[in-house]
Amino acid sequence: MTVTTQPTEFDVHDQHFLRCVDTTARLEILYTGCRFGEGPAYFPAQRSLIWSDIPNDRMLRFDETSQEVGVFRSPSRFANGNTRDNEGRLVTCEQGTRSVVRTEHSGARTVLADTYQGRRLNSPNDVVVGPDGSIWFSDPTYGIDSDYEGNLGESEIGAANVYRVVPSTGETVLAADGFVQPNGLALSADGSSLYAVDSGFTHDPDGPRHIRRFTVEPAATLSGGEAIAECDQGIFDGLRLDADGRIWTSAGDGVRCLAPDGRPLGSIRVPEVVSNVEFGGQKLNELYITGASCLYRIRVSVNGARVTRHW
């Protein structure tokens, strides 16, 4: 595979952003051909990135060592968000089956969540794993709104929420409500803060398109939930934190970098709608970017957050 590059445009809103990026860095196009790419998850032991191509019902894998892309799983049951758990296993949101699943080291598939209080989930969208092994996931209706990214269906719950799978029992519990369409999730490295996107603007022109910040209490309950940043181009979607707590999030015109309090620092221009981001590379200073049709990569001057395990 031939990797192509192009000059990169940066928008600087705060001089601090210039310490986060190298403005001579070029945006690499690693793959093109998705209908809508999403859910990048980096696996350092394999030096590879796995991401979803939702409407094409497949997952793809980029190998850092060979620079090659291959099909990881097809069909993928309309997989969307992916992450790596504390044991290095793949955790995936399957919109087609309305479930959150784990791929074991043996390749077996384990369903972690598919109902809440006896009713089927809507269509799990994004997922993160906390230091204690808790699995947090968002459950909007995108996968049941049509047959394009899942299977047309009705919401049995009648609401779109964020849930948590309790590690000790496997029970799915309500973590946060009050969303129109909960979307991307990110946890701080110490697991003390959860960031959640509400992209309800996709269903209502007056709907939210912001990032909410919650405090994770000692009992793994959430408090707070105030909106800290509003998107002015499209919607925020997937997001990640760097080692200093800055937020790197997708938007309609590229990747935004925000201070931990939501203040805009700058952005990386990308020539299509961006859905998600992920830090990868051996030093976690390679920012992978999933766009509607392409997978991109750019080297930055910061490192991605590493979740600190505690039990």
pLDDT tens by residue, the chain, 311 residues: 667 777 689 999 999 999 999 999 999 999 999 999 999 999 999 999 999 999 999 999 999 999 999 999 999 999 999 999 999 999 999 999 999 999 999 999 999 999 999 999 999 999 999 999 999 999 999 999 999 999 999 999 999 999 999 999 999 999 999 999 999 999 998 899 999 999 999 999 999 999 999 999 988 899 999 999 999 999 999 999 999 999 999 999 999 999 999 999 999 999 999 999 999 999 999 999 999 999 999 999 999 998 655 43
Beta-carbon neighbour count of residue 159 at 10 Å? 15
What pLDDT is attached to residue 70?
A: 98
In sequence order, which residues have a C-beta less than 8 Å from that of residue 183 and are 6 or more positions away? 125, 126, 138, 140, 196, 197, 198, 199, 235, 236, 237, 238
pTM, two decimal places:
0.96
The amino acid at 247:
I
The partner residues of 113 in beta bridges, in order of sequence, read 100
CA distance 89 to 105: 7
Whether omega before 182 lies within 30 degrees of 0, making that bond cis, reads: no
Predicted pLDDT at 224: 96
CA 297 – CA 311 distance, rounded (Å): 34
**Residue type present at position 43:** F
Token reading at 109 = 């598939």
**Alpha carbon separation from 116 to 163, 234, 292, 295 (Å, rounded):** 9, 31, 31, 34
Written as six digits, the tokens of 293 are 């049709």
| Adjacent-strand bridge partners of 37 | 53
- Nearest CA to 293 out of 38, 68, 71, 35 is that of 35
Residue 297, classified by CB atoms within 10 Å of its CB into exposed (0-12), middle (13-18) or buried (19+), is buried
